[in-house]
Structure 1
Amino acid sequence: MHLIGQTLRAIARRSLPLSLALMALMALTSPFAVADGINELKDYLRGLNSLSADFRQITISADGGQMIESTGTFYLLRPNRFRWDYETPTDQQILADGSRIYVHDKDLNQVTHSSQKKILDGTPAQLLASEQPVEDYFKLSNLDEGDGRTWVELVPKTEDTEVVKLRIAFTDGQLDNLLMEDRFGQLTRFIFTNLKRNPQLDYAMFRFERPAGSDFLQVD
């Protein structure tokens, strides 16, 4: 499970300590009637074959003292293939080819890789990439954050994961925000734009080619 720490921090090691954002991430559930985010999530995943989107990622350290922001493009091809291409602040790629996950730090010309079977438990990647029913892996509950979005909270059923909570927001049936809290108290928010549902994606996009001269580190 060591790589999931690397992977999550590679997917999430860029954060923004804004008190307002922190309050939004941790806002209490409204006591009033809430929209049915559970069914909206299930409807969204039903028939989802592929996905592409630009993303803005904001990560807040547990003490709120560090904030890192990054941007890039996300690609998904179900089942179990995804790719995060980070453009700022560093050039990095995280790629899952269906059996292994590769984290490529292009500035360092270093690649770490491991089997993806176990390290995705409870993560947003598992939620989006797996074709298994979402309730097999997560406990689901509806939320009302009072912002006009439809929210659902997901708590991983497995205890052996660094992710303790996910929150997903939909706007007009489209994936909008994804919030992740890890067991270290770090909070990560993904904001998606230019989202395309079921675009035509080539399997070759999810085939990792080892860069010439790179350090290639297997961690399993």
Structure 2
Amino acid sequence: MPQTHRGAAPSGRRRRPFTLLLLAGLIGLGLGLDSAAADGRARLETFLKGLTSLQSSFEQTTFNADRTRVTQGRGTLYLQRPGRFRWEYDAPNKQVIIADGKRVYLHDLDLDQVSHQSEEKALRGTPALLLANDAPIERDFNTRPIESTDGRDWVELTPKAKDTDIVRIELGFGSTGLESMIMEDSFGQETRLNFGQTKRNPILDLSLFKLDEKAGGDFLSFD
């Protein structure tokens, strides 16, 4: 898997706010930045342009504020724009996060528990909002190109909303498209995702974006 351009950091999982579990205005002057750094914003726009669906494997690592590793995971991401996605964690803890266009459901198979919230509230300021929504980037995020140290094109995004749990997002683009994502939350924890085996605009079964009616256990609403 590709490596990120900085040091390391994924987050605690059981009793944190719902939006922290999800698995996301233009500065745009470009003055004083070399062309490689300025490419991050352009790569993001190119990546999102014409994107209707996506399938990718991922590896995730979360670190505490002191950059001590907390958790690791891996799984598969399915995306159907607008408004639908599925993050399926295979290991070490089996979880499924589903957005059906109206609500976001977190099904923790280990806890036998389903938490759910409106998409508008759950996705505010998160990378999932950027990937799943087809609205202009500048509606929800400020952007700033980052000078690259690993040969890839990086861009930083900060949510415009003031009440978000995610305070900073960095996206790294390489030869295969979006390869890495870094998120920092309001607790100073950092989550890193590396993507691979990505398929752009595949035909996906829409049943992927519906909560299994057989899902048992407790249902907890965070609205």
- Do both share a fold (TM > 0.5)? yes
Selected match of 1:155 from 150, 158, 162: 158
**1:144: Cα distance to partner?**
1.4
Selected match of 2:118 from 115, 119, 130: 115
Aligned to 2:17: 5
For residues 151-179 of structure 1, the C-alpha deviation after alignment (integer angstroms, 9 at most, x for no partner) is 01101111110111100011026110011
CA distance in structure 1 between the partners assigned to 2:16 and 2:105 by the alignment: 11
User: Aligned in 2, Cα 1:10/1:120: closer, same or farther, shift over 3 Å?
Assistant: closer
What percent of counterpart residues are identical?
46
Aligned to 2:82: 79
For residues 56-97 of structure 1, the C-alpha deviation after alignment (integer angstroms, 9 at most, x for no partner) is 001111122343110000000000100010011111101000
CA distance in structure 2 between the partners assigned to 1:76 and 1:202 by the alignment: 11
Tell me which amino acid in the other structure corresponds to 2:34: A
User: Aligned in 2, Cα 1:11/1:62: closer, same or farther, shift over 3 Å?
Assistant: same
User: Aligned in 2, Cα 1:197/1:108: closer, same or farther, shift over 3 Å?
Assistant: same
Secondary structure of 2:23 counterpart: helix
CA distance in structure 1 between the partners assigned to 2:35 and 2:71 by the alignment: 32
TM-score, normalised on structure 1?
0.85
Tell me which amino acid in the other structure corresponds to 1:156: P
Aligned to 1:33: 34
CA distance in structure 1 between the partners assigned to 2:70 and 2:128 by the alignment: 22
Aligned to 1:63: 66
**1:197: Cα distance to partner?**
0.4
Selected match of 2:167 from 164, 168, 172: 164
For residues 100-120 of structure 1, the C-alpha deviation after alignment (integer angstroms, 9 at most, x for no partner) is 010001112110111111221
Alignment RMSD (CA, Å): 1.9
Tell me which amino acid in the other structure corresponds to 1:8: L
CA distance in structure 2 between the partners assigned to 1:94 and 1:57 by the alignment: 14
**1:4: Cα distance to partner?**
8.6
CA distance in structure 1 between the partners assigned to 2:164 and 2:16 by the alignment: 8
Specify every segment of 5 or more residues in structure 2 that has no aligned partner in the other structure, as ranges: 1-14, 25-31
Q: Does the Cα contact within 8 Å between 2:143 and 2:155 map onto a contact in 1?
A: yes
User: Aligned in 2, Cα 1:156/1:179: closer, same or farther, shift over 3 Å?
Assistant: same
Q: Does the Cα contact within 8 Å between 2:65 and 2:187 map onto a contact in 1?
A: yes
CA distance in structure 2 between the partners assigned to 1:162 and 1:49 by the alignment: 27
TM-score, normalised on structure 2?
0.84
